[in-house]
Amino acid sequence: MSAPSTPADLVILGGGSGGYAAALRAAELDMSVVLIERDKVGGTCLHRGCIPTKALLHSGEIADQAREGEQFGVKTSLAGIDMDGVNSYKDGVVARLYKGLQGLIKSRGITYVEGEGRLVSPTAVSVNGQTYEGRHVLLATGSYSRSIPGVELDGVRVIDSEQALALDRVPTSAIILGGGVIGCEFASAWKSFGVDVTIIEGLKHLVPLEDESSSKLLERAFRRRKINFELGNLVSSVAHTENGVKVTLQTGKEFEAEIVLVAVGRGPVSQGLGYEEAGVAMDRGYVLVDEYCRTNVPTISAVGDLIPTLQLAHVGFGEGILVAERLAGLPVVPIDYAGVPRVTYSEPEVASVGLTEVQAREKYGDVETLVYDLGGNGRSQILKTQGAVKLIRQKDGPVVGVHMVGSRVGELIAEAQLIFNWEALPDEVAALIHPHPTQSEALGEAHLALAGKPLHAHG
């Protein structure tokens, strides 16, 4: 088939968070858009990542509540986990969101093409034997689950996160390789389902990119939940046994379980897609961009997990919108990645925005920190959660880091994001009255204390 006679304003390769956000915003700005996706619009986040894992975690939370009802004076018991029912609930959530997204794409007049696309020139993508020309091309091909060299994924006993989401049974035991966000979320959900879980993390702490205080609070909580973890050790080999899998560490220590989940992060999907041939600068598979998501080729931009920024769906949304607005000629501001909120949806949750204490000391030298224990927060006591809010401020200056651990603290990070991004002083936040009894008060109380006027906290 021949190419369309008039090029589209924007041809997007990849319909995940970054790609579809750019498509929707560009269409809003009266640009003609072609969106190409090899699987389903919504990408990893909607179909194999954020959304289904959070549904799994919510099912786990319900299981824990049923198991622990007695603590709240309610006589409940857990009859068991019906994985068919869990998967039906999870898939229903995904299906409703997918249908809504398809409707949005259609209503904005976006040309949607399903198929394996390939960049064939700085202004064209070929798919299903047809070439789509664009004044500009946006690369948004996302990421895949990485493995460890020498560790073979078989999809049955040694699995990745996508295969873990499709499990039709509750395994009796599991070893998780990797104690980052993905590993900790699966450990949390599976423990709630009654699985005997062990995490193996090569670095010194779980969620190693977080402030060390948050990592330690999560580790303490996981110990209470009897989630096992081995820190600071690397995997030497993974071998099948008669009934499962054996993991041997470089120290010689051995662990056995029914299944192994490899959760060591995600790598960019860029191989064999024509990027290098079109002259796009790459590094270790990532497409290199400037602060406006522009590649070294003037007609090509890139967003999302394909570029070496934070691998978060909401970062993809932000980058996609930035590119669409830039191409439409609107004034745009580069994303401050430190100002992007980050959440691990385990039980308890870990949420943060801004700099860790180590990063803040490197950048500013003198900083002040304050830790407010959730023990002083009424709502947290009602929920029977433990944890803390940690604030980091520049000496006599604004708050430059907010780190929280506890049930549901991910819902509090939006206010913390405003505090960091608007460079608020503790006094300014302390003057805001937070509703009682809510967990949001913990954020207010922490700022009261940091401003030198603690209420429900020791001075």
Tell me if 201 is assigned to a ligand binding site.
Answer: yes
**154 labelled ligand-binding:** no
400 marked as binding residue: no
401 annotated among ligand-binding-site residues: no
**39 assigned to a ligand binding site:** no
* 141 among annotated binding-site residues: yes
- Residue with token string 């869990």: 86
**185 a known binding residue?**
yes
* 142 assigned to a ligand binding site: yes
182 annotated ligand binder: yes
- Is 410 annotated as a binding-site member? no
Q: Is 143 annotated as a binding residue?
A: yes
- Catalytic, 58? Answer no
**Tokens of residue 184, six digits:** 């900790």
- Is 168 annotated to bind a ligand? Reply is no
Report whether 180 belongs to an annotated binding site. yes
Tell whether residue 453 is among the known ligand binding residues: no
Residue 191, annotated as binding a ligand: no
**Active-site entry in 436, 447, 456, 458:** 436
Cite the annotated binding site by residue number: 54, 117, 141-143, 178-185, 201, 265, 305
Cite the annotated binding site for FAD by residue number: 54, 117, 141-143
Active site residues: 436
Cite the annotated binding site for NAD(+) by residue number: 178-185, 201, 265, 305
